[in-house]
Chains A and B, each alone.
Chain A
Amino acid sequence: MANNTKDFIVEQLKKQIENFKAEDEQKTFGLVTEVGDGIARVSGLSEAMMSEMLEFKTKSGSVYGVALNLDEDSVGAVILGPMGDLKEGDEVVAMKRILEVPVGENVIGRVLDPLGKPLDGKGEIKTEKYYPVEKIAPGVMTRESVSEPVQTGIKPIDAMIPVGRGQRELIIGDRQIGKTAIAVDTIINQKGKNMKCVYVGIGQKESKIANIVAKLEEAGAMEYTTVVLAGASDPASLLYISPYAGTAMAEYFLDKGEDVLVVYDDLSKHAVAYREVSLLLRRPPGREAYPGDVFYLHSRLLERACKLNPEFGGGSITALPIIETQAGDVSAYIPTNVISITDGQIYLEPDLFYQGQRPAINAGLSVSRVGSSAQIKAMKKVAGKMRLEAAQYRELAAFAQFGSDLDDETRKKLERGKRLMEILKQDQYSPVDVSHQIAIYYSLINGLMDNVPVEKVSEFEEGLYQYLNDMNKDVLDKIKEVGKLDEEIEKSLVKTINDYKDTLEYLMPEEDTKETEESDKENK
């Protein structure tokens, strides 16, 4: 028996070696004439293509690079990864293929570097398919307008700044203010929503990424998420290609007609890495020393986010780029560039953050250019009123600081506004389901929460979700299923909310509320 297996193995090996055919290809080669920080200049290579892979043959093995500058009699290349003992005079061979990364189902749940090498110690990625890192974005004829929502599970975003599948929504704000938290919460909330996620960390601390991966694993989100990481200690060339590599992995699922969410964290560091590479390659510097093509750098990346029409598979790539501003300066070079490329931005403000309003989303400066077409009807209905309520509150709050004599109407608006601000607060890693969001907004705009004390709002909210889940799951399911609030659903919802309120002890006395209800009726 043992003999048999031995023979079998030998036989298999023989077969494989027999099938192997060595081919001698004519290739172009060159010699390294100059080596710098992460770059090399190569003479010869007369037929090198743009962004072609180059193999540098050093004494201790091969190092790989990409041709970025094609000059009259030399080629400028960036080296992907450590330089090894690359030195002047080493031989360089053009590999006749464009830079590619492995793609496929196997990348899901993994932490990879921008070249598709594993960083999580779970073994090599085994895939058949490779996609080019740089690819032209889908054209006009293949696209469709954004119509389906991405449920971020973050209350203020889903209500006021809805994100659709295929949209590019920028998350912008100072450091340490919860930009990554929004992206990670969104990924966590995609569970069971038919969405693959790619998180691209560009120049991030490895400890931060380790935290994120641990959190995603805990929430069960790694089942549909790929993490692509170019860490802070990686060379600029790797930071430069990492978002493109992440997008290539997303495009595999796009081509299969699936929906993908890609987070680029963050593009300011990407621009800085590209500036480093460009300056080392002696491209002329422009504003803030960035090269002339930083705009193209980001526009060609974000153009790859798309919603394809059914003829082309109907898949989508939603992009959530992140930009870190310096001291709230949104008019710096890179932030303005990316703002103009994306379909809207979520602006996070330090003042709100330190007041305890978290997520610190500034509703005034944040917009979504896709708008309410990326919301389900029920959400559209409650969000419209809610936004009005929020705008009125902001106006009145500033005004009311000066005087204490306020008429009834104004006072009520202020009271309701305070409750609204409470509702907009949300803890990290706890996304809220759409139907729950609709229920809480519904109770607010219809005055059902007017007799809940402001400091008890979050308690009320939590209890309401629990009560709805336990007592009237049907209505939640129906909201999601039908997508709108018809009369029947509305009645059932109001009844459940009122039943829930009857169980509470902290409600304020009745007299206040009667008036509100009456005025509500008048409004209707």
Chain B
Amino acid sequence: MKVSAKQYALTLLEITEEKEGKELEESISKFSGLLKSNNQLNQIDKILYYFRKLYNQRYNIKEAQINTAQEIDKEELDRIEQYLQDLNKEETLEFKVNIKKEIIGGIVLKYGDRIIDSSLKTRLNQLKNSLLK
């Protein structure tokens, strides 16, 4: 029977649960051995994609991305993080900050599959559309 990438990812999650150090390393090498013997090493990209997803699901983690046009200081960052944390009370957020020049100004927040777009670029577009009407 063919085992899907998702099932592999689930197995990986289960065998690594509550393990640390040497034990963990051992299970991972066992898992890669299984993949090798099943000739499934080419699936590794997909398996890792699902593993990340399942892991985040199990531990209630959401990946959050903050895109800004310029560098922002610590204080501002903390405020943004606090805002996102308030929106997602139950979840732990993992933050990542990107600098993106093309949004001109403002910020774009992404977390999970939500997006809050308050970049200058989008606003200018909205203004353009409303003036065209």
Contact = CB atoms under 8 A, between A and B. Distances in A.
Contacts of B126: 20, 22
A431 interface: no
Nearest to B110: A29
Contact of B114 (A17, A20, A29, A73): A29
B113 A16 contact: no
A27 B110 CA distance: 10
Contacts of A44: 113
Contacts of B118: 22, 24
A73 B116 CA distance: 21
Interface string A24-53: 111111100000000000001111000000
A73 B117 CA distance: 23
B113 A20 contact: no
B131 interface: yes
A370 B32 CA distance: 71
Contacts of A29: 110, 113-115
B116 A28 contact: no
B123 interface: yes
A57 B5 CA distance: 29
A376 interface: no
B127 A20 contact: yes
A16 B130 CA distance: 9
A70 interface: no
A24 B131 contact: no
Interface residues of A, number: 17
A26 B113 contact: no
Contacts of A45: 113
A22 B129 CA distance: 11
A130 to B, nearest CB: 13
A24 B116 contact: yes
B7 to A, nearest CB: 14
A17 B127 contact: yes
Interface string B89-133: 000000000000000000000101111111000010011001100
Contacts of A27: 114-117
A249 B53 CA distance: 44
Nearest to B119: A24
Nearest to A124: B132
A93 interface: yes
A22 B125 CA distance: 10
A93 B115 contact: yes
A16 B132 CA distance: 11
A57 B118 CA distance: 16
Given A20-B127, A22-B126, A28 B114 contact: yes
Interface in A396-438: none
Contacts of A73: 53
Contacts of B112: 46
A28 B127 contact: no
Contacts of A47: 113
Nearest to A46: B113
B117 A24 contact: yes
B88 to A, nearest CB: 11
A26 B130 contact: no
A181 to B, nearest CB: 41
A13 to B, nearest CB: 8
A54 to B, nearest CB: 13
B121 to A, nearest CB: 11
B104 to A, nearest CB: 13
Contact of B115 (A17, A20, A28, A46): A28
Interface string A48-92: 000000000000000000000000010000000000000000000
Contacts of A28: 113-115
Contacts of B116: 24-27
Contacts of B130: 16, 20
Nearest to B125: A62
A27 B123 CA distance: 15
Contacts of A22: 118, 123, 126-127
Contacts of A20: 126-127, 130-131
Interface string B68-99: 00000000000000000000000000000000
Contacts of B114: 26-29
Nearest to A43: B113
B90 to A, nearest CB: 16
Contacts of A16: 130-131
A26 B115 contact: yes
A47 B126 CA distance: 23
Nearest to A73: B53
Nearest to A29: B115
Nearest to A48: B113
B74 to A, nearest CB: 23
A520 B113 CA distance: 83
Contacts of B115: 26-29, 93
B6 to A, nearest CB: 9
Contacts of A30: 113
Nearest to A30: B113
A73 B52 CA distance: 14
Nearest to A45: B113
A45 B113 CA distance: 6
A29 B117 CA distance: 11
28 contacts: A16-B131, A17-B127, A17-B131, A20-B126, A20-B127, A20-B130, A20-B131, A22-B118, A22-B123, A22-B126, A22-B127, A25-B116, A26-B115, A27-B114, A27-B116, A27-B117, A28-B114, A28-B115, A29-B110, A29-B113, A29-B114, A29-B115, A30-B113, A45-B113, A46-B113, A47-B113, A73-B53, A93-B115
Given A44-B113, A93-B115, 5 more contacts: A17-B131, A20-B126, A22-B126, A28-B115, A29-B114
Interface of A: 16-17, 20, 22, 24-30, 44-47, 73, 93
Interface of B: 53, 110, 112-118, 123, 126-127, 130-131
Which 10 residue pairs of A and B lie closest in terms of their CB atoms, listed nearest first?
A44-B113, A29-B115, A24-B118, A22-B123, A28-B113, A46-B113, A20-B130, A27-B115, A20-B127, A26-B116
